[in-house]
Amino acid sequence: MVVVALNIKTPDSVPVKRALISVSDKTGLAEFAIALAARGVELVSTGGTRNMLADLGLKVRDATELTGFPEIMDGRVKTLHPGVHGGLLAVRDHPDHASAMIAHDILPIDLLIVNLYPFEEVRHSGADAGSIIENIDIGGPAMVRAAAKNHAYVSAVTDPADYQLVLNEMDQANGATRLSFRKSLAAKAFARTAAYDAAVSGWFAGTLEALAAPRYSAFAGKLSEELRYGENPHQSAALYLTGEKRPGVATATQLQGKQLSYNNINDTDAAFELVAEFDPEVSAACAIIKHANPCGVATAKTLTEAYRDALACDPTSAFGGIVALNQMLNVEAAHEIIKTFTEVIIAPAVSDEAKAIIATKKNLRLLVTGGLPDLRAKGLTVKSVAGGLLVQGRDNGAVEDLQLKVVTKRAPSAQELNDLRFAFRVTKHVKSNAIVYAKDGATVGIGAGQMSRIDSARIAVIKAKDAAIANGWEMSRLQNCVVASDAFFPFADGLITAIEAGATAIIQPGGSMRDDEVIAAADARGVAMVFTGMRHFRH
């Protein structure tokens, strides 16, 4: 059915004479309601909100006076009534609508103040399914959508941050609101209900394991902050929060430093997700990231040692990079890190003494997350393409969960096996095609984002040799190292390059049509190789 427009001229100025208030979040409501009453606005409210306003000494009509019907079913049904929705949806200048309002004693509502049950917060709080379902708001979104649709006459306010804007508008418009203002509120209101419904549908989808790709899907977030610009100065950008309580850059507390840029946020996310691969109870770990790729990663007994080893992998690229730590930032590590220009430090916690040291670098951003993300947790990653969205499950594969298969005549030694696992963890976070050389729990050469795997292998060797020069070593650390590849070697040439550089053991997913050729090349050179059976492409 197609609904035909009523062709009624939309008024610009609509006096605010009656406001319906029904909120879950009562932040700022007392002051707002008092200010509305002082401007002669009649207040109508429901349940607990009405009681709160009445306790302030305000004259408040109960919403049941509009409906002539009591709240029932524990408050599940209270505003879903023509007495409310007629007052919100009526086209007041249409004769039929006006006569219907008179016939049914429906009062016009000029201002709707509603915020919704805290579904997003409850969903991520660990509450049981029953509690989550009870926090799905029905009446609130219905009223908000009604008021926003009828913004020709009604102002729909869904955010406590807008209360003062409403008062300013009324003062400027002699107690009324203007069409442009009501329209802006309507746009925000529909965005809010869309985000709310997306959160609800997303939760339901997450409970249905078999429904991997539903026919319709919604993605939404709440604005955290507008950014200065995007990847480049001519691009606009903003950070939105999904409500997921995953420790990381989006949920971290920034203790000091300039506002994070788009690129800072992207790189810091990559750094912290990488460093979370390493259990802080087992070893300290540090990852240094530049342009979303690691330029050095290391584990050690202390953060200071881990940072030094990570920095040694590529000190040139680390300049102006992001440093991620898997343990509390302490004094020794803080002193070491500030010796090199760094854009961001992110850690689960920071000592007061270390905080004071970082404060000497006023532009250095320091982020504290309160914990590490669970690398095995499920989740979605979303990427825009022209005309659509690419959606996939988070890469939560962990090398510790894999059955490594030795495919060569020689098996890796215990030390080689430890380094192979370390290198494969890092490779998961390097842009494809990815090659990582590692030794003694530290990267010694990284090749990222090349069109051919052999080029990545060669670049990693160049990086390792450059690091030797930068650190004043007589030779690179490639001798007797191990190498990891994010995907199979399609030909033996990339593997041979790694062996000639000094690798004595290889870890890769396997699965190439030429696996036999690659295995034979490894056997001919006396090196060990294991297959993981799991690929880690990252584009």
Output the CA–CA distances (angstroms, integers) from residue 487 to 383, 511, 527, in the order listed: 22, 9, 19
Backbone Cα Rg of the chain: 30
Closest CA to 322 of 276, 238, 260: 260
Instruction: Give the pair of three-digit tokens for residue 407.
Output: 């495919």
Instruction: Give the pair of three-digit tokens for residue 81.
Output: 């009534």
SS3 226: strand
Instruction: Give the pair of three-digit tokens for residue 44.
Output: 């109508």
> Helix 303-313 vs helix 453-471: angle between axes, to the nearest 10 degrees?
110
Backbone φ, ψ for residue 393 (5° rounding): -70, 145
- Taken as a whole, the chain contains a residue count of 539
Element holding 425 (H helix, E strand)? helix 414-427
CB 532 within 8 A of CB 510: yes
In angstroms, the CA 197 to CA 202 distance is 8
Alpha carbon of residue 417 to chain centroid: 34
In angstroms, the CA 359 to CA 369 distance is 18
Backbone φ, ψ for residue 498 (5° rounding): -65, -40
Active-site residue, 291 included? yes
**Residue of 245, 291, 355, 361 marked active site:** 291
Burial class (CB in 10 A: 0-12, 13-18, 19+), 310: buried
Instruction: Give the pair of three-digit tokens for residue 201.
Output: 């549908």
SS3 14: strand
CB 246 within 8 A of CB 380: no
**Residue of 17, 81, 124, 149 marked active site:** 149
CB within 8 A of 199, min separation 6: which ones? 119, 120, 123, 220, 243
Quickly list H helices, 448-513.
Answer: 453-471, 492-501
CB 232 within 8 A of CB 254: no
Strands of 311-402, DSSP E: 321-325, 342-347, 365-368, 380-385, 388-393
Which residues are annotated as catalytic?
149, 291
